[in-house]
Every structure is written in structure tokens, then in C-alpha cells.
Copies of this chain bind each other. A is one copy, B any other.
């Protein structure tokens, strides 16, 4: 920053802007992927170029190409991470220019989320089956992942490496007494990648497919282009953390919603079930919503009161977000 690097060092850098465009539709978390047209190519995240002459800010550039490419006008946009690892980038390995991708998360309300050309809304948990605890602990964890991870730990070169692997697995998957931490999506994905338990590892040529491995891979979610599933893992972890202290959940809600709809949306992203009575008590206490006076009769039972987001909460609360019970921990 204080002095410009020599320009020839940097000429071979190509910068693009990637977007994780997410919503919640019918209580399911969705993400926009392109190129899932049945061909053998893996789907990928939408991305577009950054125009250094036209775009005053990168966020502006992102909004521009998202609108151009998909017709969607995204509301909430937040920069996620800048990805530049060499191994993510087969072209650069082959001598091409180095590709750097600035990743963003964008949230959009379901109502505004049409189906853009060549794109599709994918259920987020098709990519991360082990992340969805809404109906209890996912079976894939104990039936597939846990034993495979154990093997991976045992395959470590020496006792020290074994301890390190076990430690990582304990933290990421809560195998020891820490319990499952919903935010550690990226740690989990990276461990599975290194352990060769997701398709990407094999495709990247990091390990060979082993006997009996291919049926494991069938259980570990849909593979994406390059490192895009890793980017999605980053985004999901970030969003899960964020809904707790910023009212981002309302970015995916319709203008009016019932408290149960709100709860389902939070559960969809958090990947965990919430205690209904406490949820509404916390939401009420936080002052995040206000009743509109209308009711929704589409629930099948007693009609629910409709609420809307109260934007001025942020003026009153240091960390306005949806607080989520984590279950009583015995210390």
C-alpha cells in the first residue's frame, strides 16, 4: 500500500467477482447455481468480471453483472472472502494467468427470486447433507462419515499426526464433548476434502479413488466446479454466525410473515430445530418485529398473526439478531 509493487509481478492476475446468491423458499435454504443442465460438467457459482474502468466499487460491479446475467436485483450484499489459492485454479497451474476471486454473499427474498436462465435454485443441503440437523442428527454422520474419518485418522503417518487429525475432527464434527458447532461449516468441508471424502478431492487428483470409496462419495453431497463448494461452505458458516447478531434473516423473508415462517427460515439456515415458544419470546424481547394487525389463515390451524420487520431496532440494540437456544449445556 505504501509503495506500488513492480507492475510486471502483477500483470498475470485476473480478478473476478463471485456470488453466493441465497434465499429461503418454502422453508428450504436455496442457492443459485449455473450450468446444472444435465451435462457432465459440475454446476458452479455465478460470477462475473470486475471492470476496473467502469465499476467504482466491487460491490457495485457485482450488482451490475448479477442484474445483467440473471435479471435479479439483490438486496443485502456482503463481501465474504477473497480466494486466491493456486491449487483452486487449473488454468494457472497450466501456465495461464492467476485467477483471484472476490466472493460475496447476497440475500434475496423468495418473492423476488425468479428462476434466471441457465440457473437453478439448489437446496443448500444437497451440497452439505451433514449440515442439516433440523430432523435430528443426520444419519450420514454416523453411518458414513464417522467411520471414514476414523480410518483417515488411523492412516496418519505417526502418533503425533494422528493426534492432530483426531483433534481437528473432534473440533469440527463435535465428536468429543464439545458438541456440534453449527458455524464450523468450512472446517468440516475442508476436513472431508483432505480426507478424500468428497468428490472434489478425487477430481483434483489429490488422492486416488479407493475400494469402497465411491459409494461414500455418493453420500457426501453434490460436487461443484473447482473450489465452489468450499466457497459455499464459507458462506454458510458466515451466514449462520451472522443471523445471531444482525437482522439479516429479514432479507430473505417476505414483507409480512408469521412467526413460524420466520422460525422456519432461521432453522433452514441454522440447520437446527428451535424451541417454538422460546423463539417467539426472544424475537419479541429483541423487538425485531411488529404486528401488522393482519392474520394469515394458510396455516391449517389457528390463524397466525402477521408481523413485519422493524428496521429501527438496530438503533436500540447493540446486536439485533435472532438468538438461538443451543440446548442446556452442563458444565
Contact = CB atoms under 8 A, between A and B. Distances in A.
A217 interface: no
A331 B79 contact: no
A99 B171 CA distance: 39
A326 interface: yes
A49 interface: yes
A257 to B, nearest CB: 24
Contacts of A47: 1-3
Interface string A1-36: 111111101111111101000000000000000110
A316 interface: yes
B52 A4 contact: no
Question: How many copies of this chain are found per oligomer?
Answer: 2
A225 B15 contact: no
Nearest to A6: B49
A44 B316 CA distance: 36
A87 interface: yes
A86 interface: yes
A112 interface: no
A86 B225 contact: no
Interface residues of A, number: 69
Interface stretch (A120-128, A176-184, A208-216, A291-299): A176-184
Contacts of A48: 5
A49 B3 CA distance: 9
Nearest to A19: B1
Given A4-B99, A10-B15, A226-B1, A171 B52 contact: no
Given A11-B11, A56-B87, 14 more contacts: A2-B47, A4-B91, A5-B50, A9-B52, A15-B15, A57-B84, A58-B82, A82-B102, A84-B102, A170-B315, A176-B315, A178-B315, A285-B331, A318-B326
